[in-house]
Structure 1
């Protein structure tokens, strides 16, 4: 089975490459650590790829789309049809992710892994496991078998992108109502109270927020997900697009390709991937800090530092697309700056030592 084969291939960071990259970074013509997080990113990418002089070439954003039965609980201000109606805008490059992916020089793969409405949209990969996740406030989102199937969709799409030369992947999502299952995932895996982690999502007023909190509470009570089993949490309170994105993370980890986590929904997928295989955290990069209150908690659980803090909460992979520039910049610094020795410049720290 592709799922199990992928898990077997996931290892750790290449420590030798990281040590070499860190040594070079510390000897570039600048004070050590003066480029902050940029330096950490370059060293981590070196460890992911296994090359002390990493370079970023072709890049891709994978947008997984799926619907949610929990929409029937009144948890969203937007109608469910918006999910499929947005997909042509992604393909045509006129949605937020289309503009920012184009700006980043990235291609977009848009995948229907669980859209409720059966529509044919040119350019959208039709890999539907089922027509929307079931209502998590009434029972499980899907069976365990469906969860694995959706994860495998993500694995296949990511492997295809990697085989076609992608060196950096980004996670993107589309699914009306998907902040509700993402909140349930965070609460289940992090042990947080529903009140702590439930944000407003998109255009949500106090009444809808109350319904959302109740839906998450019901989902956790009725389904009782096992926090020690990431696949169980996914099947019981997750979503199909979240499953697909978790599969993308697993595939990237198995092939040693860095993957950019976007906001709250993709953060939930990253949590699921890490719960399934903790070593996947080594291959993730956090693009930004979302405006959703629970996103900070997700990143803390994953041990990731966000590159940007811009109050963004659109999803789609928009923050991850922006961060592609930063990842490339980090690698360019490592490769294109010279060391003190190469430049024939006295190392400032060494000069201090010599002068006593």
Structure 2
């Protein structure tokens, strides 16, 4: 029996400071720009102020991209456009600055951290700092066997928790969370279907590499079979991650929960991070208050998970590549919201009276003929 109970996080996680949020809202009412004229940027600035516990909000200057990497045995069923056990190539591209997220991170000046939770490759193919955390080599084929043992799932969750602590201790003020996986969207679809009580076809998408119709049907069948294995363990999040998740998904779940404990805001990327967030929400209902949904990935399971958590994506640019790319695109929007909330001048009282008079309209107080 595992010593780790994810339900314990419910007592450890508090919501962002509601008093500070009210102060931020009050300050927004007195800025030189009319209330509501900045749209959702107002809401983002207030959310960030509550997360930081500071008014005016501080600028986001030490963001970090964190990518959990792993291979999934279910990829052997040709449910992905990528070859099974090839996630190390995605890692290599990210490390070499040749992937979309690496290009954007370089442009934005944001460091990228890759954590190997369960890649199926020889350690010599990657730098030591990437592979030193590996829980196991690859995850089991979830349609017929468990992805992990419960002990491995606990190790993976604790790995994610440790990474969250390292980032918080290093002063990271916001995390962009993504994944580097092959077969990961299949496992994510199973988790979402299990937790939302839906059928395989409702949550199964075509992945970031856009599989064809035959591959999609194979993926639906794999999700269906894995879903049968998931339902008996729905009462225990750790057993669920062991049965149909994977080392990278379990690590990301632990990471999200501990980030909420440490009051570190997170931008979620696509379906994999959304599925992990849904598992984390099942353990700690206040945890989603610390997360933003970066973008619409086009995966039906992501839409289902975000709807369940009441998270509204910031962007919809048709980006399906995954790997943290869409979430990183949303980072400048969050930074802009923080800058506007902090740097716009506060109106003088005389200006406020003028604005109030203008809002009355020229015809107010005039009697009709």
TM range (shorter): over 0.9
Distance across 1 between alignment mates of 2:123 and 2:229: 32
Q: Unaligned regions of 5+ residues in structure 1, if any?
A: none
- Alignment check: 8 A CA contact 2:188 2:301 kept: no
- Alignment check: 8 A CA contact 1:64 1:112 kept: yes
Aligned to 2:51: 48
Measured after TM superposition, the shift of residue 199 of structure 1 is 0.7
Cα deviation 1:25-58 (Å, max 9, x = unaligned): 1222223222121111111111212112222120
Q: Do residues 196 (structure 1) and 199 (structure 2) align? A: no
Q: Do residues 333 (structure 1) and 332 (structure 2) align? A: no
Q: Do residues 64 (structure 1) and 71 (structure 2) align? A: no
Distance across 2 between alignment mates of 1:72 and 1:135: 8
- Alignment check: 8 A CA contact 1:168 1:259 kept: yes
Relative to structure 1, the CA distance from residue 343 to residue 196 in structure 2 (aligned partners, 3 Å threshold; closer, same or farther) is: farther
1:21 corresponds to which of 20, 24, 39: 24
Distance across 2 between alignment mates of 1:198 and 1:226: 21
Which of the two has higher C-alpha Rg? 2
Aligned to 1:205: 212
Distance across 1 between alignment mates of 2:235 and 2:108: 37
Aligned to 1:181: 187
Q: Do residues 80 (structure 1) and 87 (structure 2) align? A: no
Aligned to 1:110: 114
1:237 corresponds to which of 241, 244, 247: 244
1:119 corresponds to which of 117, 123, 141: 123
Distance across 2 between alignment mates of 1:118 and 1:153: 20
Relative to structure 1, the CA distance from residue 350 to residue 43 in structure 2 (aligned partners, 3 Å threshold; closer, same or farther) is: farther
Distance across 2 between alignment mates of 1:73 and 1:81: 12
Relative to structure 1, the CA distance from residue 2 to residue 344 in structure 2 (aligned partners, 3 Å threshold; closer, same or farther) is: farther
- Alignment check: 8 A CA contact 1:139 1:223 kept: no
Q: Secondary structure at the match of 2:36?
A: coil
Measured after TM superposition, the shift of residue 3 of structure 1 is 7.4
- Alignment check: 8 A CA contact 1:340 1:347 kept: no
Measured after TM superposition, the shift of residue 322 of structure 1 is 1.2
Q: Unaligned regions of 5+ residues in structure 2, if any?
A: 365-369
Measured after TM superposition, the shift of residue 61 of structure 1 is 0.6
Q: Do residues 160 (structure 1) and 185 (structure 2) align? A: no
Cα deviation 1:81-129 (Å, max 9, x = unaligned): 4201221221222211111112222111111100111223125242111
Cα deviation 1:163-217 (Å, max 9, x = unaligned): 1111011111011111110000110011111111111112311111111111111
Which range moves more in the overlay, 274-283 or 230-239?
230-239
Distance across 2 between alignment mates of 1:109 and 1:177: 21
Aligned to 1:313: 320
Aligned to 2:283: 276
Cα deviation 1:256-306 (Å, max 9, x = unaligned): 111000011111111111112111101001111112122222211111111
Could you tell me the TM-score, scaled by structure 2's length? 0.90
Aligned to 1:267: 274
Relative to structure 1, the CA distance from residue 350 to residue 9 in structure 2 (aligned partners, 3 Å threshold; closer, same or farther) is: farther
Could you tell me the TM-score, scaled by structure 1's length? 0.94
Distance across 1 between alignment mates of 2:302 and 2:314: 14
Q: Secondary structure at the match of 2:123?
A: coil
Aligned residues: 356
Aligned to 1:171: 177
Aligned to 1:253: 260
Cα RMSD between the aligned structures?
2.1
Distance across 2 between alignment mates of 1:11 and 1:178: 30
Measured after TM superposition, the shift of residue 2 of structure 1 is 8.3
Measured after TM superposition, the shift of residue 7 of structure 1 is 5.9
1:132 corresponds to which of 129, 133, 138: 138
Cα deviation 1:219-247 (Å, max 9, x = unaligned): 11134244443323222111211111112
Measured after TM superposition, the shift of residue 350 of structure 1 is 5.5
